[in-house]
Amino acid sequence: MLKKLVLVLALSPLLAHAVDLPTYPFIHVGGEGFIMAAPDMGEIDFDVSAFDADPAAAVAVIQARVEEIRALLIEQSGPPEGDGAAAIEVQDMRKEMRKSANPDANAPPDYDIRSAVHIVVRDLTKWRPIMLALLQKPNIDHMSTTFGKSDRLKVEQELTAAAIKDALRRADA
């Protein structure tokens, strides 16, 4: 009997909360928002990688390639400071183990030296020349691109407002 009393006392807060739930049946509605918006900026992500038996030589190749990319962006869009048409961010170098062509198990491991690069192109008229030049450069791999809006938060707020309006319309119906 004592166990039943303890169980009822333990569950009583849950019973109090259950009273606040609406009685069935009730309706759930959702809303959707849709906007056709052309992108006004693009982003390019890729790795600059090099392999050399001498890691210092591989690092030098990567540093030279990154400087070539910086020069390309300045040539195409002006200096990256301020409101330049493009900005570059280069992450620290890392080394990744490479499949060795040497079948000798005692051979030292081979490493690729890599550095991740992120470019934001704010003026899409510069997109094509920048991409064509990057695609011709050696030591660039794992390239991916995305497009977006510089006023993304404003667009998201408009979409949320449209979705709420649609949900209210559906609830009224």
Q: Kindly list the averaged pLDDT for each block of 10 residues, start to end, along the chain of length 173.
A: 51 56 74 91 94 85 93 83 74 77 65 90 93 94 94 93 92 85
> Token digits for 31?
């809303």
CB 72 within 8 A of CB 112: no
Q: Residue 100 in 3-state DSSP?
A: coil
Q: Residue 119 in 3-state DSSP?
A: strand
Confidence (pLDDT) at 53: 77
Confidence (pLDDT) at 5: 45
* Three-state SS letters, 22-48: CCCCCCCCCCCCCCCCCCCEEEEEEEE
Q: Which of 50, 52, 54, 47 is nearest to 69 (CA)?
A: 47
Q: Residue 22 in 3-state DSSP?
A: coil
| pTM higher than the cut 0.75 | no
Q: Residue 80 in 3-state DSSP?
A: coil
